[in-house]
Amino acid sequence: MVTRIIVDSEKELAATGSELIVSEAERCASLKGGFSIALSGGKTPRPMHGLLSKEPFLSEMPWDKTDFFWVDERCVPIQNRQSNYGNAKRDFLDKAPVRPGNVHPMPGEMDPETGAREYGEFLIDFFSLSEGQIPVFDLIFLGIGEDGHTASLFPGHDVLDEKERPAAALTGGEPPLDRITLTLPVINRAKKVAFMVSGKSKAGIIKKLFGPNSHDLPALKVRPSDGELVWLLDSDAVSLIE
């Protein structure tokens, strides 16, 4: 199932995203006692992350039942403003009653290949899987780059063809950085995947993605096998298709 939610402003987008996270977390926590979410980096989700550390979300979120993971990470020190985990820590994790043991950053401080392998092994262990099985997240939040990348899955990269490993290492982005990313098999097994897209700078890629899909763009490869796909967009992002 694909749901498209269009709101007027970036502020409203952040609130809608926070409401989605909290409602999914409450639902999963009461249904099965836990909630697993993988967060993206970049600028778009940061207003939403900031709202999670404020009322009403601060009180509503079942922090003790939530495990935080990352969709991707740039291999830089946490203090670096490029660090996705570092930014999430600054935006809300350090301001909310999260259990330190429930926060699972990608190891961006070590050799990327080793970090990707270790994170993949951690996911297999966390989700009590055997080798070759695919971790299933309750919710994965994704952004989109102007080139149609998502996570750290960039156009033309071999990692797009990864069928087994849950996480992989690559060099990409502007400026090119060593990165670790979840792979498509994991993203497409999630119970819910939410793209959050904001701003006029993304209107061109949204027009391409929602247009006749002649483009072999990484974001178009996100097709949850039996999960729900939600598009959260503001009016600027859809200004070329609405």
Least distance in Å: CB of 118 to ligand 6PG? 19
- Copy the structure tokens of residue 242: 């609405």
- Enumerate helices (H) and strands (E) in the chain, giving the number of each: 7, 9
User: 3-class SS at 4?
Assistant: strand
Question: What are residue 140's DSSP bridge partners?
Answer: 38, 193
Q: Is 36 in the site for ligand 6PG (CB under 6 A)?
A: no
Q: Is 86 in the site for ligand 6PG (CB under 6 A)?
A: no
> Could you say which of 151, 184, 190, 222 contacts ligand 6PG (CB under 6 A)?
151
Pairing outcome for strands 72-74 and 177-182: antiparallel
Q: Is 41 in the site for ligand 6PG (CB under 6 A)?
A: yes
Least distance in Å: CB of 59 to ligand 6PG? 27
Q: Considering only residues 102-131, where is the footprint of ligand 6PG by CB under 6 A?
A: none
In the chain, what's the furthest Cα-to-Cα distance?
46
Q: Is 140 in the site for ligand 6PG (CB under 6 A)?
A: no
Least distance in Å: CB of 10 to ligand 6PG? 11
Q: What angle do CA 47, 54, 78 make, to 5 degrees?
A: 55
Question: Given the complex with ligand 6PG, which of 29 and 152 has the nearer CB atom?
Answer: 152
Rounded Cα distance, 158 and 147, in Å? 16
Residues that bind ligand 6PG (CB under 6 A): 40-44, 71-72, 84, 143-145, 149-152, 173
